[in-house]
Amino acid sequence: MAVVTSIAEIEENLQLFEDYLCEGSDEEQLFCSELIRKGSCFIAYEIDNEHRFSPSRYIGYKKNTIHAHIQRKKDGKETNPAITKVLGQLTQSDRLENKYLKYCSNLGVSPFNKKRKFWSLSLEGADFKNNKISQEGFPEGKLVERKHTARERNAALVKLAKEAYKKSNKRLACEACNFDFEKVYGKRGSDYIEAHHIVPVSEMQASQKTKITDIAMVCSNCHRILHRSRPWLTVIQLKVLITKNA
User: Domains of the chain: which residue ranges?
Assistant: 7-132, 154-244
Judged on CB neighbours under 10 Å (0-12, 13-18, 19+), 219 is: buried
What pLDDT is attached to residue 193?
Answer: 93
What pLDDT is attached to residue 135?
Answer: 57
Say which residue, 232 or 19, is predicted with more confidence: 19
Nearest one of 129, 99, 118, 107 to 16, comparing CA atoms:
129
**Count of Cβ atoms closer than 10 Å to residue 13 Cβ:** 20
- Please answer whether residues 171 and 180 qualify as being in contact, where contact means their C-beta atoms are separated by less than 8 angstroms: yes
Lowest mean pLDDT, pick from 70-79, 86-95, 151-160, 227-236 = 70-79
Question: What radius of gyration do the chain's Cα atoms show?
Answer: 21
Nearest one of 192, 141, 111 to 22, comparing CA atoms:
141
Q: Which residues pair with 61 in a beta bridge?
A: 3
pLDDT 10s digits, 194-216: 999 988 887 877 667 778 888 99
Considering 15-29, 130-144, 224-238, the range whose residues carry the highest mean pLDDT is 15-29
- CA 161 vs. chain centroid, Å, equals 21
137 conformational bin, left if phi > 0, alpha if psi -120 to 50, beta if neither: left
Q: Is 28 helix (H, G, I), strand (E, B) or coil?
A: helix
191, pLDDT greater than 80: yes
Say which residue, 229 or 179, is predicted with more confidence: 179
Say which residue, 151 or 173, is predicted with more confidence: 173
- Please answer whether residues 82 and 61 qualify as being in contact, where contact means their C-beta atoms are separated by less than 8 angstroms: no
For residues 78-105, give the mean pLDDT: 95
> Buried b vs exposed e over 157-178: b needs ≥16 C-beta within 10 Å?
bbeebbeebeeeeeebbbbbbe
43, pLDDT greater than 80: yes
Predicted confidence band of residue 140 (pLDDT cuts 50, 70, 90): confident
